Amino acid sequence: MSIRDITLMGHPALMTPAAPVDDPLSEATTSLIEDMFDTMFAIGGVGIAAPQIGVSQRVIICLMRERKFSQPPERDDFTVFINPTLTPVDTEMVEGWEGCLSLPGMQGKVPRYKQIQYTATATDGSTLSGRAVGFPAVVLQHEADHLDGILYPMRMTDMSTLQYHDPVRRLTGRASMATSMEQEIDNELAQATDDDNREQEPPLS
């Protein structure tokens, strides 16, 4: 397995819909998933999509628990979704900051559905189904967009919020998933404290 280069905005794999995975149990699919995990953990993200390592296949990996700042996520905290389908539970939306590894150093405010229903194929070929709320729902929507050639600025309703996150991340080439993104959702769901008092969040994907 290996750490792959992240594709950047403008790469063909990011701009066109990805192809369905025909055989979730194949050696090629297993190898792809391992490379995605290796790359994601090397960067410190909370999700990744196959097109972000240049592979136009409908595979995403997402952190499926709320972020715990004192406890870095482990592999078991992530779920692999093969050929995922997402359906909004209702029309309620939340808006929060998002960043993307494929748009280094940038962030913008993006509206997302507060709750989504998902179905997908698991790595063992079984069917995954469930409901995601809050931070996991945002991660799922962000990653699934990559499978349809959609980057988060294409979801933004106020382009004046598209900005560099800070000079340090600009210089290091690291994209940001600003803590305020999760905080905006927390405010909707649990009246959490001001995001300015929270530490930095790793990027999504």
| Axis crossing angle, helix 179-190 with helix 135-146, rounded to the nearest 10 | 130
Residues with Cβ within 8 Å of residue 125, at least 6 apart in sequence? 24, 25
The structure tokens listed for 105 are 């150093």
Catalytic one of 143, 182, 184, 201: 143
Q: Which residues, including other chains, have CB under 8 Å from residue 187's CB and lie 6 or more apart?
A: none
Active site residue 143: yes
The rounded distance, in Å, linking the Cα atoms of 41 and 35 is 10
Return the active site residues: 143
